[in-house]
Amino acid sequence: MRARSGKVKPACRGGVPRIEGYPLSAGYDSAWVFENEMGPSALWLAEALSKRMGFVPGMRVLDLGCGRGMSSVFLAREFESRVTAADLWISPDENFRTFAEAGVLDRVFPLRAEAHDLPFASGYFDAIVSIDSYQYYGTDDMYLKYVLRFLRKGGAIGIVVPGLTAEFKSGVPEYLTRRQKSGAVFWDPAECFSFHTPAWWRNHWEKTGLVDVEHAGLIEDGWRLWLSWEEARDGGGFSGFPSDAEAIREDAGKHLGFAVVVGRKR
């Protein structure tokens, strides 16, 4: 499972399916979603997280590792958040265009930022979110302390990360390391060792004593959501990156899913 950073124009024969429980995401154009994807639908993941975050209009929100900014557009549109859309790989020039086209420039500010060198005032944000990105830097024991510097006391930090429903008892299953018919190998050890269970994340944050963990759980039927995404990309003729559908289907939620973690700064 490799993060996707290249932009590929979709043929978009099919569309992004409507998923029960994700009514807000259903309001976005499929071609736009496919064009800006960098992994499993950022809109679904942002919507799942938003149910736990208590957003209110006007909040200053940091979207850390926003990629092509779909979650930033989503938070600005759906919750009237004032979003700082920070990313490393995707340039602010590109995201500026995306936000202008989406009509949210008055509420979303594109920025290039490295997660360990953030250019913000202490306590500036009311909330920090990170969608399919925190696993790249946040497994470091010291990172939570660093990023919380930019969150006000009582503010919420929420992440959604690809994760594990259960730890592997006897190594990574063969079907995750095998080459799929699409050509992709799901389990790239250089990245996937950062996948953890919600319990792991809870302990990772609670042991710091810096946050009260309000939620650490799995997205319900997260593997089905993930599979729906891979199948939609296949069905849409979106051939820029090989599909992981085969591995996710075979796993059927035995190990793979999405962890959602929300903490409140003490």
Ligand X SMILES: C[S@@+](CC[C@H](N)C(=O)[O-])C[C@H]1O[C@@H](n2cnc3c(N)ncnc32)[C@H](O)[C@@H]1O
Please return the burial class of 42, using the count of CB atoms within 10 Å of its CB with bins 0-12, 13-18 and 19+.
buried
The footprint of ligand X on residues 135-164 (CB under 6 A) is: 136-137
C-beta of residue 72 within 8 angstroms of C-beta of residue 127: no
Q: Return the structure tokens found at 21.
A: 């429980």
Nearest to 48 by CA among 149, 148, 163: 163
Q: Is 115 in the site for ligand X (CB under 6 A)?
A: yes
C-beta of residue 2 within 8 angstroms of C-beta of residue 236: no
Task: Identify which of residues 114 and 212 has a Cβ nearer to ligand X in the complex.
Answer: 114
- Per the document, the length of the chain is 266
Shortest distance, CB of residue 174 to ligand X, whole angstroms?
A: 25
Other beta carbons less than 10 A from residue 88's beta carbon: 17
The window from 14-22, 112-120, 199-207, 216-224 that contacts ligand X (CB under 6 A) reads 112-120
Task: Identify which of residues 136 and 175 has a Cβ nearer to ligand X in the complex.
Answer: 136
* Rounded Cα–Cα distance for residues 35 and 225 (Å): 19
Task: Identify which of residues 98 and 180 has a Cβ nearer to ligand X in the complex.
Answer: 98
Residue with nearest beta carbon to ligand X: 67
Task: Identify which of residues 42 and 211 has a Cβ nearer to ligand X in the complex.
Answer: 42
Q: Is 90 in the site for ligand X (CB under 6 A)?
A: yes
Residues that bind ligand X (CB under 6 A): 3, 38-39, 42, 65-67, 70-71, 87-90, 113-115, 131-133, 136-137
